[in-house]
Structure 1
Amino acid sequence: MSETVKTEKHGFQTEVGKLLHLVTHSLYSNKEIFLRELVSNAADAADKLRFKALSDNSLYESDGELRVRISVDKEQGTITISDNGIGMTREQAIEHLGTIAKSGTSEFFGQLTGDESKDSQLIGQFGVGFYSAFIVADRVTVLSRAAGHDATTGVQWESAGEGDFEVTDIEKSTRGTDIILHLRDDEKEFLDEWKLRSIVNKYSDHISIAVEMWKEEVPERDGPDGPEGDKIPAEPAHWEQVNAAKALWTREKSDISDEEYNEFYKHISHDFEDALTWGHNRVEGTHDYTSLLYVPKRAPWDMWNRETKHGLKLYVQRVFIMDDAEQFMPTYLRFVKGVLDSNDLPLNVSRELLQDSKVTDAMRKACTKRVLQMLEKTAKKDPEAYQAFWKEFGNALKEGPAEDASNKEKIAGLLRFASTHNDNSEQTVALADYIERMKEGQDKIYYIVADSYNAAKNSPHLEVFRKKGVEVLLMSERVDEWLISHLNEFDAKQLVSVTRGSLDLGDLDDDADKEAQKAIEEAAEGLVSRVKASLGDSVKDVRVTHRLTDSPACIVTDENDMSSQMVKLMKAAGQPVPEQKFILEVNPEHDLVKHMDAEQAEDTFAEWSQLLLDQATLSEQGALDNPAEFVARLNKLLLAAK
């Protein structure tokens, strides 16, 4: 190191400045979480050193007893959280403490409302980590030195949590990190050591690294029998462990309280809320491992960001290996948090090795099955809680049938939809509920996919179903078309679109219905032929409808063609789409169609035919390729009718 001490001033990344403001102004009601966050980070640093030392034992520097220490200086008004973990270099301190290394931060800040109570929940999902120090401190000093580096390579980072921070080269004899909080005058209550111990016991008892606090010397004193009895020996001053330091997932389930489970969830997820449900299982036999899996109550703010990492914390024989091991949880369950501790994987396991491991595949299948069972149980025991879960995570779960064919039926049972059975857009109808309400003679599950709930609910394709009292599922989320293309049946009942192919209601149509339909078709043969000739190759076919009772016409997708919704999705994604032609179904019983049929002039009849097609297209797709032409044609026909 040069003789001149190198000090530099850096500006915070814009997002850090915003986060610091929010942390200090929105988390005032839960100040004590600063200690949970900092102790958690310190424990993570120790875990990371333990993992790296598997391949380089010298990183321990003759000190293999990993720990976190909390000390108080009442005269200086400071709390120090120290660890002997992996530590940081100068460059790492600037990067990790001056920027938020998360993609989608702009999206996160865009979701903030200005309502402190709501924003504090969102901040909890984002994870405040180190910056929680500024909840109680008006200045923070960090001293760090990376394991395996020379003592002269230490770094001091310091900031008042405003616009900038200073970084200085220092000499630090021990590896790891010391975080010194200079408490605000109104936060001196946290200098009470018993208060700090109680916070550690509350939030950090489950951490597998020992958390220690200094205990002053205790002189020899009288025992329970008084001065004449045996004396209690003196205790010299020493560092005393204040947490259980036993990995929670290694303990017996019967010995763990719900509060402990929830605190551990908050430790691994950095969420502020309790989990919705969890499952703790120890598996012995062909594979030997323990899993502790949590389903959150609220979706993480970045769940739809494709760059966001997800997965479980992976341990091998109690040794931390990696965060976000995505190999053990399918993408549609990316919201699941938890820990997986295996005795079957090698300690030097890598992400690449996990990709091709039979053990990984078996554990993934088992964990997936367990989460689905947890959700099934919640749906059965607490429908209200499950409905709240569905609002948060339903669209992610809808990705399941396409991704996980082996669990398609289980996933389908967890899906919820809006339907014509209800008067609102709430997605509360399970497929099993639908089947229970099926009409006598009904053997199919009917659905419609549209751009919006209102478009689905008011689609002319539903007219005959309303007339017969047949329930139809109403789908309007972007993911629904993708879902339904991979979900063909449930409980041996075929899912059928009301907008595709020829409508066959099976036994829902009696003999009288079928005879009436046949008579209408025969009577309208001339009309259908004229419309076909007028529209030419702008449609795939023209036929009499059996779907409509109140509307003059609708367009239908051929059974083997791509649906109109899928065409729109592909176009929106910039994907090439083959030319798509639809079938026009006309309702000869409608007054407009009767008026058109009576028109003798073929050019005027052609205008009516095109208008009918445009109306049906607009009703189905919500837009036309040439709306100006449609308006001009409509005006022309209206004027001619005067």
Structure 2
Amino acid sequence: MSKQKGNLSIHSENIFPIIKKWLYSDHDIFIRELISNGCDAITKVKRLHSLGEADIKGERDFYVKVVLDKTARTLKFIDNGIGMTDEEVKKYINQIAFSGAEDFLKNYKDKGDRDQIIGHFGLGFYSSFMVADVVEIHTLSYRPGTEAVKWRCDGGTEFEMEAGDRTERGTEITLHLGQDGESFLNEFTVRETIEKYCSFMPYPIYFEVADKEPEKDKDGNIIVSEPEALNDTAPLYLKQPNACNDEDYKIFYRKTFKDFREPLFWIHLNMDYPFNLKGILYFPKLNTEFDTIEGRIKLYNSQVFVADNIKEVIPEFLLLLKGVIDCPDLPLNVSRSFLQNDGFVRKISDYITKKVADKLNSLFKDNRAEFEKFWEDISPFVKYGLIKDHKFYEKIEGIVLYKTTSEQYVTAQEYLEKHTGKLEKQIYYVSDPIQQAQYVKLLKEHEVEAVILEHSIDSAFISHMEMKKNDIHFKRVDSDISELMKDSDQGVDEEIKNKEVEALTAVFNKALNKENTKLQLENLKSEDIAAMIILSEDNRRMQEMMQRYSLGGFNPSMMPSEEILVLNKKHPLIQFCLRHAKVDSEEVKLVAQQVYDLAMLSHKPLSPEAMTSFIGRSNEIMKRMITFQENN
């Protein structure tokens, strides 16, 4: 053919600068596009051969090869696929925005569909101009008697096209890297990008560095080794679940996510109708704090990587997991807002949610002991899912476990049944088992268990559960004094009790230098505890919410304290304060201050100033005890 020059035919006005600069937000995407096109070309020639329309002469070793030449500043993409004639170059390359893959599918859609076509040879090809100043194509069609074609473009709207010298079927695309492609002269960057986007593409992908010094053995001989593909052409997620064993899943997890901790368990997704979706979701061993959990769901379209963590497709709470999802039917040439509102995409999301819920339910019912073993690791994920996804909540709320202070795991229903006759539709919990140990001990003395809810998500979780289930209320162990802990009030003279409360309030107000100490006098069954601090559940949740959401930081002094000091009238220290309530003595003051701080220590940490005073006072009380002992 004679040498030709011409202008690229633009189907949409001024589209070329948009393609070159703004079509893709990530410049490294050109590697995915060009390798996808190479795989696409191989799929086409294989299908034509199966239809008897292409003779590939017994060839079975298909490949895509990427060659970096740092000296020449080039990056080549070579395949032995279908190739192109000069007419096809004019149609699929010179006419931007005309998809060769779509045209091919139109012609062959009724002749078999064993292999999916991936990529769209057209716009994807032009992503190369994001990093290259000049792009060349050397191609030879599978059609007998056709001439090789050489095509060249410097990034403007003009091209040159002439006969080429390629002798093997396929296509070689050479990018002459410009300033924007400087980073792709780095061998590690190219290799990492291929592995990022092309790990599961259907044909072997090889990477070579043309001007790299050959590796030698200790005697100086060049080591000749077989090239290894960077990708897995038959990834585990495409196989039937019954063809995979536990070790297969663990190996795939380690290789895909570079995480050498074993996953807890996994779900193999395998659906062909009404949409095609394959994948594996792994439940990793999570960190202790919800804020530090980082999952990763890799979304693929026909083995081509699309993106991580597309929450428009994958339910948001599942993004705490790790996994691979491949959905060839997913519409990708649309905005993310379209995906979010698309009914088909919602069906995909609902299907994934259902499969996860089904897996959790089957684990709970078939192997409760194993489920309990996993619970501490998966509970933040499950609770987050219950909050964020109503359908997930409906399927899973009955199997949510609560760990009790006696190290047992129970459901909410099991907890309530265990405490029938003692508690009315309420679940006691602790947020700090050590700090709140005194309250736990009091409840245990009356055969009442508390559950441990110490994770950062638990505050939102229990509020959500109460909203959904009106017949259950969560109460922290220090939110009130259970009737179980008190002696009967029968026979108590209310007038006398009120006077005692008034007298003790005056003692504690003076000792604590306060004006409004909120005090409650009770006859507790236990004589070991002098005093306790309680804070209503609603008040504490309000404080926690303000602290969590306040933009300028929450100052506790902004909200008046509702903490109540509960004094046990049976205890000798409280009896002492009552007997000497009208005596202005240092001893009464010391006892009142110490009683208050001891109660507060069981409720929450003391401030630095209060702790300093507490330690100094404790030393003073012990010195007085020694002095008293020696004088008597």
TM-score normalised according to structure 1 size:
0.56
Indicate the residue corresponding to 1:294 in structure 2. Answer: 281
Q: Output the CA distance in 2 between the equivalents of 1:384 and 1:331.
A: 28
1:629 pairs with 2:613: yes
- Structure 2 SS opposite 1:371: helix
SS in 2 for 1:326: coil
**Which one of 442, 448, 472 corresponds to residue 423 of structure 2?**
442
Distance 1:538 1:487 in 2: 39
Match of 1:338 among 313, 318, 323: 323
User: Which position in structure 2 is the counterpart of 1:454?
Assistant: 434
SS of equivalent to 1:279: strand
Distance 2:490 2:335 in 1: 66
State whether structure 2 residue 523 is matched by structure 1 residue 543.
Answer: no
Which residue of structure 2 aligns with residue 529 of structure 1? 502
Looking at structure 2, the residues matched to 313 and 545 of structure 1 have their Cα atoms a distance apart, in angstroms, of: 60
| Aligned: 1:488 with 2:477 | no
User: Deviations for 1:126-163, whole angstroms, at most 9, x for unmatched residues?
Assistant: xxxxxxxxxxxxxxxxxxx978845463676579xxxx
Q: Alpha carbons of 1:260 and 1:156: their partners in 2 closer, same or farther (altered >3 Å)?
A: same
Within 1, Cα distance between the matches of 2:216 and 2:378? 40
Aligned-pair distance for 1:538?
Answer: 6.0
Structure 2 gaps of 5+ residues are 1-25, 45-61, 75-129, 137-173, 178-183, 189-204
Q: Answer whether contact 1:552 1:586 (CA < 8 A) is retained.
A: yes
Distance 1:465 1:66, change over 3 A: same
From the superposition, tell whether residues 346 and 270 of structure 1 become closer, same or farther in structure 2 (CA, over 3 Å): same
Query: The residue matched to 1:562 in structure 2 has which SS?
Result: helix
Distance, in Å, in 2 between the alignment partners of 1:302 and 1:420 is 20
Q: Which amino acid aligns with 2:566?
A: E
Corresponding position of 2:576: 595
Indicate yes or no: 2:280 matched with 1:280.
no
Letter in 2 for 1:206: A
The DSSP-based 3-state class of the residue aligned with 1:468 is: coil
**Corresponding letter in the other structure for 2:273:** E
User: Could you tell me whether the CA contact under 8 Å between 1:520 and 1:588 is conserved in 2?
Assistant: no
Kindly state the Cα deviation for residue 437 of structure 1 after the two structures are TM-superposed.
Answer: 2.6
Which amino acid counterpart does residue 323 of structure 2 have in structure 1? G
Structure 1 pair 620–204 and aligned structure 2 pair: CA distance change class (3 A): same
Which residue identity is paired with 2:42? E
How far off is 1:620 after superposition? 0.8
How many Å apart are 1:64 and its aligned residue? 2.9
1:620 aligns with 2:603: yes
CA contact (8 A) 2:450 2:477 kept: no
Which amino acid counterpart does residue 520 of structure 2 have in structure 1?
R
Correspondent of 2:257 among 265, 269, 293: 269
> Contact 2:298/2:325 (CA < 8 Å) preserved in 1?
yes
What are the residue-to-residue correspondences of 1:118-517 with 2, within 5 Å? Answer: 149=135, 151=174, 153=176, 157=186, 177-178=207-208, 182=215, 204=232, 206-207=234-235, 249=237, 252-254=240-242, 261-272=249-260, 275=263, 276-282=265-271, 284-285=273-274, 288-299=275-286, 304-305=291-292, 310-316=295-301, 320-342=305-327, 345-404=330-389, 406-408=391-393, 412-422=397-407, 428-451=409-432, 453-456=433-436, 458-459=437-438, 461-488=439-466, 494-499=472-477, 501-503=479-481, 505=483, 515-516=488-489
Aligned residues of 1:543 and 1:585 also touching (Cα < 8 A): yes
- The residue aligned with 1:6 is none
DSSP 3-state at the match of 1:488: helix
Q: Aligned letter for 1:465?
A: L
Q: Deviations over 1:65-87 (max 9, x none)?
A: 389xxxxxxxxxxxxx9844698
**How much has 1:561 moved relative to structure 2?**
0.7
Give yes or no for contact 1:50–1:320 (8 Å, CA) kept in 2. Answer: no
Selected match of 1:561 from 528, 532, 539: 539
The answer to whether the 8 A contact 2:404-2:450 is kept is yes
The alpha carbon displacement at 1:352 in A equals 4.8
1:587 is displaced (CA, Å) by: 0.8
Conservation of the 8 A alpha-carbon contact between 1:448 and 1:475: yes
Write the distance in 2 (CA, Å) between the matches of 1:192 and 1:436: 68
Which AA in structure 2 matches 1:527? E
Checking the alignment, whether the CA contact within 8 Å between 1:446 and 1:496 is kept in structure 2 is yes
Deviation at residue 278 of structure 1 after TM alignment: 1.4
- Residues 468 and 305 of structure 1: CA distance in aligned 2, closer, same or farther (over 3 Å): closer
**Which amino acid is 1:543 matched to?**
Q
SS of residue paired to 2:465: coil
Compute the displacement of 1:503 (Å): 4.0
Q: Percent identity?
A: 20
1:294 and 1:337 in contact (8 A); partners too: yes
What letter matches 1:278 in structure 2?
A: I
Shift of 1:522: 6.4
Amino acid at match of 1:524: K
Give SS of 1:178's match.
strand
Task: Please give the alpha-carbon distance, in whole angstroms, between the structure 2 residues aligned to 1:329 and 1:266.
Answer: 22
Give the unaligned 5+ runs of structure 1. 1-44, 68-80, 94-144, 160-174, 208-247
- AA in 2 matched with 1:284: Y
* Structure 2 Cα separation of the partners of residues 295 and 413 of structure 1: 22
The alpha-carbon deviation at position 633 of structure 1 amounts to 5.0
Give the superposition deviation at 1:588: 0.6
Alpha carbons 2:339, 2:345 under 8 Å: kept: yes
Distance in 2, matches of 1:481 and 1:301, equals 16
2:492 matched to 1:519? yes
Deviations 1:259-286 (A, max 9, x none): 555554445434446652213241634x
Distance 2:389 2:481 in 1: 31
Structure with bigger gyration radius: 2
Aligned length: 451
CA contact (8 A) 2:70 2:185 kept: no
Mapped to 1, the partners of 2:67 and 2:516 lie a distance apart of 68
Amino acid at match of 1:525: N
- Aligned partners of 2:430 and 2:450 also within 8 Å: no
Query: Aligned equivalents of 2:301 and 2:251: distance in 1?
Result: 22
Superposition RMSD on alpha carbons, in Å? 5.1
Change (3 A) 1:606 1:259: closer
8 A Cα contact 1:463 1:548, kept in partner:
no
Residue 469 of structure 1: how far off its partner (Å): 0.9
Partner deviation per Cα, 1:12-48 (whole Å, 9 max, x = no partner): xxxxxxxxxxxxxxxxxxxxxxxxxxxxxxxxx9x96
Q: Deviations over 1:320-375 (max 9, x none)?
A: 43233233445544342333344654231454543444444443343233213212
CA change 1:627–1:298 in 2 (3 A) is closer
